[in-house]
Chains A and B, each alone.
Chain A
Amino acid sequence: MKETPDPASAPSNSATSAAPDLKEIASLIETGAYAREVRRIARAIRLTMALRRKLKTSVVSAFLNFALTPGSEAHSRLSSYLPKEDDHEMEVDTATSVVQAPVKHSLPELEIFSYLLVLIFLIDQKRYSEAKACSSASIARLKNINRRTVDVLASRLYFYYSLSYEHTGDLAEIRGNLLALHQIATLRHDELGQETLLNLLLRNYLHYNLYDQAEKLRSKAPRFEAHSNQQFCRYLFYLGKIRTIQLEYTDAKESLLQAARKAPIAALCFRIQCTKWAVIVRLLLGEIPERTVFMQKGMETALRPYFELTNAVRIGDLELFKSVAEKFSETFSLDRTQNLIVRLRHNVIRTGLRNISISYSRISLTDVAKKLRLDSPNPVADAESIVSKAIRDGAIDATIDHAKGWMVSKETGDIYSTNEPQMAFNSRIAFCLNMHNEAVRALRFPPNSHKEKEIAEKRRERQQQEQELAKHIAEEDDDEF
């Protein structure tokens, strides 16, 4: 079964340094597959991603000839996706393939990896329809392979499958396939695949604004500890979006802020999106985000409309709010936050009211209506009912005197004499302790380390170290006294 191809005899006919790197990656995958170590394959994928820019047709076709038996079904199918540019390169390729040992058993991992490579190459070249065909073929091939080591590669394939369909605008077609794949992944206990597919399905539903169905899927899908940080970030972002639309702003804020924090620094656009939604959710909750949020590196221009929006809400001015909303309406509709901005009107009024109630101890309702600039046929009656609702919701502390038609604010007491500081401290302490626990849980140890037998030398060393440590601690204790 094992027939490792001879790396020395395979010449690198392309001038770039990508070809030998690819061969390294291929050997890494092989060793990983034989030793059943998933981490090597994950590392191989990371190295491939670093090579993305250097991929060219010649490089890819050379790799295909190297990794797959030429003439096999997979090889012919994949080669058909690559354009036949330079004839003389192909000749050299066929020469080398003859030179190599013709008996070469293709590992399924190598085959799937080749699919992945071709797919990445096609997508980077923006040939989306061909990428679509390639990915569908790979998914069909994947259904027959059931090996843990392929899972990592498979989840990448699912991602690019969905991406190629999204670029051609056909996401709805693959929804059934994704659901079936998710089912298969769950049956095979392929947790990384489950995670990836769940995120892809959520993305699919949210693309078409089907928040109801997305929530139903998410609540019923099995949940477990996240395997991949990126997938977890994506999950948090989609969860935050669903919760925002369903008016559960506190949960949404938590998810979105966590997603923005956990995302890798390089994922700038993702973080910008998270920040945009987080800003809106915070505005809807009634709190004003600080200026530093908008001044983060690289995000200033993108967040500019939201910065002006926050300003309008902070001042509590309805006219300014309306003008800002109109000015940036294309940006908002592109981000699909248009409906949320409409909901903000209520918050603008509330903030305006709060400002008024803090500044005046007593103010007539006509003046309130004038200051809020409510454009309605009957502003005083409107103002009165708005104020009474705000009082009932606890946003402002006041009473209305209907006969005389004015609003009287109550004195705000001393906060430190209440339980408020205790609550605030408690939440911060809980957060720090939670973070500590999560960090401990996230520690990873190399597998099989507990199985190594301790050699006598090592044991002596370890005992010596422990003795020294004990002495040290004893000395410290003595010092304290």
Chain B
Amino acid sequence: MDPKLTEVSQYFERFKAACVREDIDTSANLLSQLKVLLTSFRSLPPLFEVTPNAVQELTIARDIYEHAVLLSVKMGDQDAFERDFFQLKPYYTDARKRLPRSPQEHMILGLNLLRLLVQNRIAEFHTELELLPAESLEDPCIKHAVELEQSFMEGAYNRVLTAKQTVPNQSYDYFMDLLAKTVRDEIAGCSEKAYDFLSINDARQMLLFSSDNELLKYINEEHPEWEIKDGSVIFQKAKETAPCKEIPSLQLINQTLSYARELERIV
């Protein structure tokens, strides 16, 4: 076999072992070495040359990047995730005809969708979704992300939180925790507008805190305008003073001026 290929495979084995051991530093080092070694292969994107070992090289490169993506999830580094995922994507799309399907493909695609959801990049979420063929939508990992997005849009936040239990893969946990935080902020925002007041117990339950102290700390930090009076949280509704009938004069002036200008132009 090609000596370069053997070298890469050996490094790859050590890399995989380090990942399993949860040894983040060694894994990161080995990963950078592997990436440098991969640049010597000419059959990889963007060149896509046809060399005799092309299929093996492509497969190894793809596996390396998949592990890199999972490693970045463990490290909690979202930028690294994005970089590695973008490098991985051509293997799924353009090289689809040359390689057999990877078993982890759907899992990683689902992970990416979840990441976009957590970062609130909904437009990109949908664009990515369009690229998937109809059969992929049946896959549990991807279905999970799609249903999560729907619940998020509809506002059924409790469903989002229960979905945490039904996670298809352990690496999803990191993003689900981030999502829980976002959801909590959303619930707080909605409750503010929807309720006049809530008892402390109810507020604690809705915002998923385990004790009253945590709730009070959260309110102090994030929402100082809420008042806490005899065992209930009162949301700031005092802003509803009599709306003084202001005439938006600047806007009216602008509009009337534009009418006059356009009418003058008519010959």
Chain A residues at the B interface, C-beta cutoff of 8 Å = 209-212, 245-248, 333, 338-339, 342-343, 345-346, 349, 374, 376, 378, 381-382, 385-392, 398-403, 419, 422, 426, 429-430, 433, 436-437
Contact = CB atoms under 8 A, between A and B. Distances in A.
Interface in B24-48: none
A339 B266 CA distance: 47
Contacts of A389: 154-155, 157, 186, 190
B202 A402 contact: yes
B194 A376 contact: no
Secondary structure at chain A's binding surface: helix, strand, loop or mixed? helix
Contacts of A402: 195, 198-199, 202
B96 interface: no
Interface stretch (B49-57, B71-79, B128-136, B174-182): B128-136
A343 B153 CA distance: 9
A388 B262 contact: no
Contact of A399 (B122, B126, B195): B195
B126 A245 contact: yes
Contacts of A419: 248
Given A382-B158, A402-B202, A429-B259, A339 B194 contact: no
Nearest to B198: A402
28 contacts: A209-B131, A211-B130, A245-B123, A246-B126, A247-B123, A247-B126, A333-B134, A339-B126, A339-B129, A346-B150, A378-B159, A381-B158, A382-B156, A385-B155, A385-B187, A386-B155, A387-B194, A388-B187, A388-B191, A388-B195, A389-B186, A392-B193, A402-B195, A402-B198, A402-B199, A419-B248, A426-B255, A433-B262
Contacts of B146: 342
B90 interface: no
A211 B195 contact: no
B157 A385 contact: yes
B154 A346 contact: yes
Interface residues of B, number: 39
B127 A212 contact: yes
Contacts of B194: 387-388, 391-392, 398-400
A388 B190 contact: yes
Contacts, number: 98
B224 interface: no
A338 B134 CA distance: 9
B129 A345 contact: no
Contact of B153 (A212, A346, A376, A378): A346
B45 to A, nearest CB: 15
Contacts of A399: 194-196
Secondary structure at chain B's binding surface: helix, strand, loop or mixed? helix
B140 interface: no
A382 B157 CA distance: 7
Given A247-B123, A387-B194, A376 B156 contact: yes
Contacts of A211: 127, 130
Contact of B154 (A333, A345, A401, A433): A345
A390 B134 contact: no
Interface of B: 122-124, 126-127, 129-131, 134, 146, 150, 153-159, 186-187, 189-196, 198-199, 202, 248, 252, 255, 258-259, 262, 265-266
B94 to A, nearest CB: 10
Contacts of A343: 126, 153
A203 B126 CA distance: 19
A390 B190 CA distance: 8
Given A346-B154, A399-B194, 19 more contacts: A211-B127, A212-B127, A245-B130, A246-B126, A339-B126, A339-B130, A349-B154, A374-B156, A378-B159, A385-B157, A387-B194, A388-B194, A389-B155, A391-B190, A400-B195, A401-B196, A402-B202, A422-B252, A436-B262
Contacts of B192: 392
Contacts of B155: 385-386, 388-390
**Which of B159, B194, B259 gathers most chain A CB within 10 Å?**
B194
A388 B126 CA distance: 25
A436 B195 contact: no
A378 B199 CA distance: 22
B127 A386 contact: no
B120 to A, nearest CB: 12
A33 B202 CA distance: 82
Nearest to B156: A382
A376 B160 CA distance: 12
Give 7 nearest A-B pairs by CB, closest first. A389-B155, A388-B194, A388-B190, A246-B123, A391-B194, A433-B262, A392-B190
Nearest to B202: A402
A428 to B, nearest CB: 12
Nearest to B128: A212
**Which of B126, B190, B198, B265 gathers most chain A CB within 10 Å?**
B190
B265 to A, nearest CB: 8
Nearest to A349: B154
Nearest to B153: A346
